[in-house]
Amino acid sequence: MALEKITQVSGKGIHVPGADLDTDRIIPARFMKCVTFDGLGEFAFYDVRFDPETGEKTNHSLNNEAYSQATIMVTGENFGCGSSREHAPQSLQKYGFDAIIAESFAEIFFGNSTTLGLPCVTGPKADLEQLRTAVDADASLEISINLIDKIVTYGEQSFPIEIPESAREALTSGKFDPIQELLENSAQIEAVASQLAYIAQ
C-alpha cells in the first residue's frame, strides 16, 4: 500500500508557547519504556500538563477544552531540541497533530518528524507572532499549510513558509518513509538479490 502524498494539511490550530521546548518536555523519559508507540499520545507534554504533586491539570494550552480539536501546533524557536528520541514526534502525532509550525526546529526532531509524515514548517517571526495571536483569540481558526506553494493561510491572512526541499519532496511525493519504500519495492529487491552470486548460490 502506497504512502499518502502530503501536499496540504488543514485544521484548527493551537499555540503551545515557549522557545527551546526540548524532547524531554515533549515526552518525559519514563514514558519511553513502551514496546510500541501506540498510546504514547496521552503522555505528550505530561509534566507540564499535570501538576507533579497533585496530579491536577495545569493551565497548559493543551488542557484548554476549546482547543481539543486542534491538529496544527504553532510554537516558538528551536522546537524539539535536546536528546534525539523519536518518541517525541511519535507522541505528538499520536496525540493528534498533523503538522507543526515554528520559528525553527532541532535538526534530528525535524528528520524524525518527516519520516512519520508529520510536516514541520517555519515562517518569519513577525508572521508567526500574528498567527499565534490569531490562534489564541479564536479556537475555531482554520489553518491551511500548502506544501506545494509553500504558504500558510488562515482567515484573510497568508505568509510564506520554509521547509528543506528534500523533506518537501519526500512528503509531497509520498516517499517520506524509507522502510515503506523498501516494502513497496520488495519484488524488485528480490529480483536484484537473486542475481547476486553470493545470494543465488
Does 179 reside within a domain? Answer: no
Strand partners, 105: 79
Does 143 reside within a domain? Answer: yes
Give me the pLDDT at residue 184, please: 66
In the block, residue with C-alpha cell 520559528: 103
Does 193 reside within a domain? Answer: no
Give the cell for residue 171: 512528503
Does 192 reside within a domain? Answer: no
- Which CATH number fits the domain that encloses residue 166? 3.20.19.10
E strands present in the chain: 8-15, 72-74, 99-102, 120-122, 142-146, 151-154, 157-160
Q: List, run by run, the mean pLDDT of 10-residue segments along the chain (201 residues).
A: 88 97 92 73 93 93 97 97 91 97 97 96 97 97 98 97 97 84 66 66 50
CB 27 within 8 A of CB 148: no
Stated length of the chain: 201
Give the cell for residue 87: 518518541
**Which domain does 27 fall in, by range?**
8-174
Does 129 reside within a domain? Answer: yes
Give me the pLDDT at residue 198, please: 63
Does 197 reside within a domain? Answer: no
Strand partners, 74: 15, 101
Residue 59: how many other CB atoms lie within 10 Å: 8
Give me the pLDDT at residue 73, please: 98
pTM > 0.75: yes
Q: How far apart are CA 196 and CA 31, in angstroms?
A: 44
Give me the pLDDT at residue 85, please: 85
Give me the pLDDT at residue 39, please: 78
What is the domain count for the chain? 1
